Amino acid sequence: MKSNFNNLIISLILVFWFNSVNAQSNENVSNWPQGVTYEIFVQSFADSNGDGIGDINGMTSKLDYLQDLGVEGIWLMPINPSTSYHKYNVDDYYNIHPDYGTLDDFKRFVEEAHKRGIHVVIDLVINHSGDNNIWFKDALKGPNNKYWEYYVWAHKDDPKVQPPVSADGTPRRWRSNWNKVEGSDYMYFAHFGRNMPDLNFDNPLVQQEMFKVGKFWLKDVGVDGFRLDAARHIFPDYRAVDSHAWWEYFLQEMKKVKEDVYIVGEVWAGSDLVAPFLKGIPALFNFDMGSTIIKAVNEENADSLVLEHKKIIDFYKSVNPDYVDCTFLTNHDQNRILSSVGDDMNKARIAASLLFTLPGSPYVYYGEEIGMLGKKPDQLIREPFLWNRTSNDKYRTSWETPKYSLETTVVPVEEQEKEANSLLNHYKSLINLRNHSSALTYGDLENVNTSDNPAICAFLRTDKNESLLIFHNLSGKRQSFKLTAELQGYYTSYYADKKVGINNEQVDIPEYSTVILKK
C-alpha cells in the first residue's frame, strides 16, 4: 500500500515556481576557495567621490551587495600605480593607484570584506613591470646600473632581435617583442608591449624582490592571495620547466608568511600545457570549460560538454589531487557572456546554470549577473557597472562612455533586485543553492547519456552526503528525458527555475531551464 501511495505521489505533476530551492542545510557548506569568487575592475565598479572613476571606498560601500549575492571571494584587477587605464604595467609594487585611494583605504576594504566572510585576492603582475617603474628608469641609464640586470636585453645586431625574412630576402610583417632604446645600441624584451618590459627571473635579485612584494601584501596589508597574471610567461615557452620551478619556489616562500595563501594562475593554454603548472600554482583558470559551455549553449548541443570537463578534471587530479579548478564563463580579456551568446538572455541564464552546477570553483566577472554586454576592444568589455538609473546613480562611473552596456540594454541592479525572475536573482538563487549543497560544491561528476537528445545536458553530482541528478535544457523547446532504471530513484524536488513535470519514468524539462532532483 505504501509503495502504491509513493508511486501515485511521484507520478503527479510537480510544480516548481521560479527559483524554488530545497537545500539540505541552512548553513553554507562551501569552504572558500571552493566558493564563488567575483572579479572586479575597480575603475568601473563604484565611484565614491564623484570624479567618475571607480575607487576602493566605492567597493567598500558595495560589500553588502556582494555578500547578498553569495560570493565568498573577490579578485581585483591591478590596483597599483600605473600609467595605463588597465594598470597591468606596474610603476610601484607597494602602493595603490591614487585614482583608487590610499593604502589605508585598501586595508579598511580588506578588513570590512573579512568581516563579511569574503576573501580578497589581488592581481600580482610580476612577469613584467611598467616602463615608468623606477627599476626600469634606472636600468635605462646603462649596463653599469644595478637595475640593468632586472630586465632582458640584447644588442641591436643580435640575430634574435632581427625580423624574419622570406625566401627572397625581404622582411616579413611581424610583431617584435624587442624594443629600441633611444641613444642606445641595446633593445629590451617586452612580450606584451613596449610599456611592459619583461623582468629577468634568471636574476636572484629579481626573485627576492618579488618575494618581498608578495609578503608585503599578505602580511602588512592582509590580502588572502594572488591572481598571477601571465604566469606562463615568466620564462619563454621553451623554458617551461623553469617557469614551473619558479612558481613552486614562489609558493613555498608565500607559505612562510601565510600557510593557507591562495594562489590562482592565468595559464591560457591547452590542458597539456596547463597541467605541469599545478604543483606551484594549485589553482588555475579553466579556459577550456568556459569556451565549451558557450559553444554548447550557442549550438544547443551538449553532446560532449560533461565528458570533456570530466576528462580535464581527472587529468589535473592525476598531477595534483588537491588542485582547485577555477571555472568561469568569460573574464576581462574576453567578450562578455551575453554578447557571446548573441544577446540572448535565455542562453545567458542557462550558461550560468551550467557554471554553477558543474564541478569547480566558479568566478563571476562583474556585471555578468545583471546582463552587461561588451565586445572587444578591451575597454568595451570593462564598461561602467549600472547600479541605478543615471539620474539617481551616485556610484556610476563615467571614465568611459559605454557603447554596449547602456540603460536601454541593461536593467540596473536596483530594479533587478525587485524583479523575482531577473537575471540577478537567477544568479543569487544558483549561488545560494550551490553554497548550501555539498554535492554541488564538492561532489564527483558522472555523465548521464543523452546522445539521443543532445539539447539536454544531464549529469550526476555526488558526494558522501547527497546525490543530485541535474538536467539542463539548452533549447527553446520543451524536452523529455526517459529515466533509466538506475535513475528512477531520483524523484524529490531540489531546484527548478520553471514549471516541470516528472513521473517515475520521465522528466519533462521546459525550454532553457534547469531541473535538479535528489533521492
Which residue ranges make up each domain of the chain? 8-20+442-518, 28-130+200-438, 134-189
* Range 103-112 contact pairs with CB under 8 angstroms and sequence separation of 24 or more: 103/221, 105/55, 105/56, 105/57, 105/60, 106/56, 106/79, 106/221, 107/221, 107/222, 108/60, 109/56, 109/57, 109/59, 109/60, 109/63, 110/221, 110/222, 110/223, 111/222, 112/60, 112/63
In whole angstroms, give the CA distance from residue 338 to residue 133. Answer: 37
Dmax of the chain from CA atoms?
95
Name the 3-class secondary structure at 134: helix
CB-neighbour burial class of residue 36 (10 A; exposed 0-12, middle 13-18, buried 19+)? buried
pLDDT at 458 over 70: yes
pLDDT at 3 over 70: no
pLDDT at 173 over 70: no
Query: Which pLDDT belongs to residue 15?
Result: 37
Query: Which pLDDT belongs to residue 406?
Result: 96
Query: Which pLDDT belongs to residue 99?
Result: 98
User: For cell 625566401, what's the residue?
Assistant: 167
Mean pLDDT value of segment 122-138: 97
266 catalytic, yes or no? yes
- C-alpha distances in angstroms, 87 versus 38, 90, 91, 427? 19, 6, 9, 29
The pTM for the full model equals 0.93
Q: What is the pLDDT of residues 234-291, one digit of tens each?
A: 999 899 999 999 999 999 999 999 999 999 999 988 888 899 999 999 999 999 999 9
Backbone angles phi, psi at 301, to 5 degrees: -145, 110
Which helix (DSSP H) or strand (DSSP E) does residue 361 occupy?
Answer: strand 361-365
pLDDT at 6 over 90: no
- What the block records as the C-alpha cell of 200 is 629577468
Q: What is the pLDDT of residues 7-56, one digit of tens each?
A: 333 333 333 333 444 444 567 898 899 999 999 999 999 999 999 999 99
- What the block records as the C-alpha cell of 58 is 566605492
Domain 28-130+200-438 sits in CATH 3.20.20.80: yes
DSSP string across 173-225? P---SEEE-TT-SEEEE-TT-TTSPBB-TTSHHHHHHHHHHHHIIIIII---E
* DSSP β-ladder status, 186-189 and 153-155: antiparallel
Domain 134-189 sits in CATH 3.30.565.10: no
CA atoms within 13 A on the CB side of 401: 0
Query: Which pLDDT belongs to residue 326?
Result: 96
229 catalytic, yes or no? yes
- What the block records as the C-alpha cell of 20 is 524554488
Contact call for residues 200 and 150 (beta carbons, < 8 A): yes
Edge-first strand listing for the sheet containing 479-482? 479-482, 506-509, 501-502
Q: What is the pLDDT of residues 69-119, one digit of tens each?
A: 999 999 999 999 999 999 999 999 999 999 999 999 999 999 999 999 999
Contact call for residues 368 and 337 (beta carbons, < 8 A): yes
Q: How confident is the model at residue 233 (pLDDT cuts 50, 70, 90)?
A: very high
Angle in degrees, 0-180, between the axes of helices 287-299 and 305-319, rounded to the nearest 10:
170
Q: How confident is the model at residue 158 (pLDDT cuts 50, 70, 90)?
A: confident
Give the residue, 11 or 327, on which the prediction is more confident: 327
Among candidate residues 39, 99, 131, 266, the one labeled active-site is: 266
DSSP string across 440-481? HHH-EEEE---TT-TTEEEEEEE-SS-EEEEEEE-SSS-EEE
In whole angstroms, give the CA distance from residue 438 to residue 445. Answer: 13
Name the 3-class secondary structure at 486: helix
Query: Which pLDDT belongs to residue 257?
Result: 97
pLDDT over 70 percentage in the chain: 92
Query: Which pLDDT belongs to residue 13?
Result: 37
Q: What is the pLDDT of residues 361-413, one digit of tens each?
A: 999 999 999 999 999 999 999 999 999 998 788 999 999 999 999 999 999 99
Edge-first strand listing for the sheet containing 178-180? 153-155, 186-189, 178-180
Edge-first strand listing for the sheet containing 444-447? 20-21, 492-496, 513-518, 467-473, 456-462, 444-447
**Least confidently predicted of 157-171, 238-252, 387-401, 432-446:** 157-171
* DSSP β-ladder status, 262-265 and 225-228: parallel
8-20+442-518 homologous superfamily: Golgi alpha-mannosidase II (2.60.40.1180)
> What residues contact residue 193 under an 8 Å CB cut-off, 6+ apart?
none
Among candidate residues 47, 198, 229, 325, the one labeled active-site is: 229
User: What pairs with residue 456 in β-bridges?
Assistant: 473
Q: How confident is the model at residue 475 (pLDDT cuts 50, 70, 90)?
A: very high
Mean pLDDT value of segment 476-501: 89
pLDDT at 61 over 70: yes
